[in-house]
Amino acid sequence: MTRFDLHTPLAVLQSYLETIGFLDGASERILSMEKPGEGNMNVVLRVRTDHRSFILKQSRPYVQKYQQIEAPLERIAVEREFYRAVQERSINDHLPEILTYAPGDYLLLMEDLGQVEDMTRIYHSRIIDPAALDKLLSIASHIHNASPGVAYPSNIELRQLNHQHIFVLPFREDNGFPLDDLQEGLQALSMPFKKDRVLKKEIDAIGKKYLTTGTVLIHGDYYPGSWMTVDGHVYVIDPEFSFMGFAEFDLGVMGAHCIMASMQPSALQKVMDGYSHQADGRLAGQVAGIEILRRLIGIAQLPLERTLEEKEYLLQIARKLILE
């Protein structure tokens, strides 16, 4: 496997891309590489040539942001399959185009969407643009309506990793997460939820469902870090967590982040009302509650500036969503 990062000499990348036939002959020269943004799972680089720019995305046997956490290399193949599965005119304008896939090097070359910004800004503004929300729900509907067939990868190794960080580790009393280093008092705030056996039983049941193969293609990480905007246009990226599962997982995750951003429990109902297919509101609510809990007391923290009182309010909303 040939690895690339910001320290790779341009001549080495030039030679590699010529070898796989990607560059426009000897006339196209690489000028620069840069990071297009903060990636979590993979190495992501913007490559500029004298003809164009494109994105190089490559997986590693670990999570790029948390390199002590092992992760399957094959997630890049899942991402490629996702884009192939959802190819249709009505949604292609909201997804990056795959230019080349090099399976032996776990590498995708993709369309450069330009100076896009992710939608994590909603945590600060506490406002979710209704037009953007409608478009994201439309995109989700098209994803869930795709028919990739029985050959779609199970993505079970990445799901097992994700399962631990969503449904298990945040609720262990001895997980070692330094919550007070993030915000003084957060550890004590988390303990009632880690000790609540009734709550943890419901979380465990949803976790088992997450590990079961379902009938609906889902994005698997449908949250503001995967939603990009530029000049009012919405894009969805980073589907490496996708699998054949249940639509309520995407909807619940989406609803959770809308609740955390707006501090309004009714944000979940807006998501469900705007979704064009049938869905189980109770199940989506349970997923939303779990997502809120794990984002507040787990390791995968958000750029969410909230007081302890506000976080306690959100945690109580989450508990109610899971149990009622």
Distance separating alpha carbons of residues 62 and 194, to the nearest angstrom: 27
What whole-number distance in Å separates Cα of residue 18 and Cα of residue 39? 26
Mean pLDDT of 300-312: 96
What gap in Å lies between CA 289 and CA 251, rounded to an integer?
12
CATH annotation of 10-111: 3.30.200.20
Residues 299 and 169 sit within 8 Å (Cβ to Cβ): yes
Give the distance between the most distant pair of CA atoms in the chain.
Answer: 65
Residue 225 has what pLDDT? 94
For the chain, what is the mean pLDDT? 94
| pLDDT tens, position by position, 228-282 | 998 889 999 999 999 999 999 999 999 999 999 999 999 999 999 999 999 999 9
Whether residue 146 has pLDDT greater than 80: yes
* CATH code of the region 117-323: 3.90.1200.10
- Name the percent of the chain lying above pLDDT 90: 86
3-state secondary structure of 211: coil
- What does DSSP assign to residue 218? E
Q: Is the pLDDT of residue 150 over 80?
A: no
pLDDT for residue 37 is more than 90: no
User: What is the predicted pLDDT for the residue at 67?
Assistant: 84
Work out the average pLDDT over 195-221: 97
Which among 265, 312, 311, 304 is positioned nearest to 288, based on CA atoms? 265
Instruction: Please give the distance of CA 10 from its chain centroid, rounded to a whole number.
Output: 30
Q: Which residue has the higher pLDDT, 106 or 26?
A: 106
| Eight-state DSSP code of residue 234 | E
Q: Which tokens hold the place of 72?
A: 């399957």
Given CA atoms 33, 34, 36, 37 in this order, what sign does their dihedral have?
A: positive
pLDDT of residue 200: 97
pLDDT given at position 192: 97
Give the pLDDT band of residue 24 (cuts 50, 70, 90).
confident
pLDDT band at 98 (very low <50, low <70, confident <90, very high): very high
307: left (phi over 0), alpha (psi -120 to 50) or beta: beta
pLDDT given for residue 89 in this prediction: 62
**303 three-class SS:** coil
- Evaluate if residue 63 carries a pLDDT over 90: no
* Domains of the chain, residue spans: 10-111, 117-323
What percentage of the chain carries pLDDT values higher than 70? 98
Distance CA 286, CA 294 (A): 12
Q: Which of 18, 219, 231, 228 is nearest to 111 (CA)?
A: 228
Average pLDDT over residues 40-54: 93
Q: What mean pLDDT comes out for the span 188-217?
A: 97
* Residue 147 pLDDT > 90: no
Average pLDDT over residues 1-18: 93
80 has pLDDT over 90: yes
List of residues 6+ apart from 176 with CB closer than 8 A: none
User: Over 70: is that where the pLDDT of 149 sits?
Assistant: no
CB 140 within 8 A of CB 254: yes
CB 25 within 8 Å of CB 72:
no
Per-residue pLDDT at 88 exceeds 80: no
Token pair of 296 as six digits: 């507040």
